[in-house]
Amino acid sequence: MVRVRTKDLLEHFNLTLVAGAQGIERKIITSDISRPGIEMTGYFNFYPNERLQLIGRTEMAYYMDLSDEEKYDRAVRLCTDITPGIVISRGMNIPQQLIEVAEETGVPILRTSMKTTRVISRLTNYLEEKFAPTTSVHGVLVDIYGVGVLITGQSGVGKSETALELVKRGHRLVADDNVEILQEDYDTLVGSSPKILENMLEIRGLGIIDVMTLFGAGAVRTKKRISVVIHLENWDDSKQYDRLGLDEDTMQIMDVKLPKATVPVRPGRNLAVIIEVAAMNFRLKLMGVNTAEQFSARLSNIIENEKSMLD
């Protein structure tokens, strides 16, 4: 599936199309951007022609010092059948040879008044997001005190009802039922809701409710980085649940491992408060405060002291 075409850059960044209008439907297949500096010298052995090409002031200054024949030669070799486009920064004037070749080959030339480093940064961020791996998870995503908590569990365990209680307590809903997850970086997952389900929450017995209409714009957000997973499951008397918090379980989503806690569900347990505390405890751990380890160390000291007194 084609994710980005050259015309998308024109629309998103308000670039000016100078030449090669017939090629604006060309596909961009990678988020990498090339600055053809060494190519301007005539060395094209490793020219990444499938990338978007960005010509800044340095490359253009060298190009302008070439003879007319060399300018035409470099332009022909820059503009290949698969080159998605050439971006010229700083609003610089474009040599006629490059414009003529771009028109002949259908390679779009786009111009912007922004500085080169700013163009690279904005284009890279945009393309990285477009080409980032994606997946979806059945669950609920809630922003609790700035921590993105992904609540998972089998259907009917009470995920949406818990999310509703969390919203009532002042937290923000991101997605219900289907969480679309984007891996923005090696260790960063960002969750959002499908457009059709945005701001919606399904409560059995009530149906679909609009959280933003009921609780206001402050009760929802469009996306949130996922930091921790809370898995809800029906209470199993034969299973031993972690009582100290020393066991560190994880859940892997794509290439990222997230800390995971399993919370058993049975009547009388306030899941919203438990998950709220879990989010606060996660923040404490980020600040270097691990209550379970502190308790374990305190208990070990008491045992050691008792042993020394007996000896």
> Which whole-number Å values give the CA distances from 57 to 18, 21, 60, 106, 180, in the listed order?
17, 24, 5, 24, 40
How far apart (Å, rounded) are the C-alpha atoms in residues 271 and 220?
A: 20
Give, in order, the Cα–Cα distances in Å from 190 to each of 82, 212, 297: 32, 21, 35
User: What residues have CB less than 8 Å from 81, skipping those under 6 apart?
Assistant: 105
C-alpha torsion angle, residues 69, 74, 80, 83 (rounded to 10): -140
Of 149, 166, 169, 163, nearest in space to 225 by CA = 149
Annotated binding site: 153-160, 202
Residue with structure tokens 């859940």?
251
Which of 24, 48, 23 shows the shortest CA–CA distance to 37? Answer: 48
Which residues line the annotated binding site for ATP? 153-160
Task: Choose among 231, 130, 212: nearest CA to 173.
Answer: 212
Which positions are annotated as active-site residues?
A: 138, 159, 177, 243
Helices 159-168 and 271-286: crossing angle in degrees, nearest 10, is: 70
Within the chain, residue ranges assigned H as helices are 6-13, 57-64, 68-78, 96-105, 116-131, 159-168, 211-215, 271-286, 291-310
Closest by CA to 263, choosing from 238, 234, 290, is 234
Q: What span, in angstroms and rounded, lies between the C-alpha atoms of 123 and 110?
A: 13
**Distance separating alpha carbons of residues 190 and 197, to the nearest angstrom:** 17
- Distance, in Å, from the CA atom of 64 to the CA atom of 171, rounded to the nearest integer, reads 58
Class of residue 124 by CB neighbours under 10 A (exposed 0-12, middle 13-18, buried 19+): middle
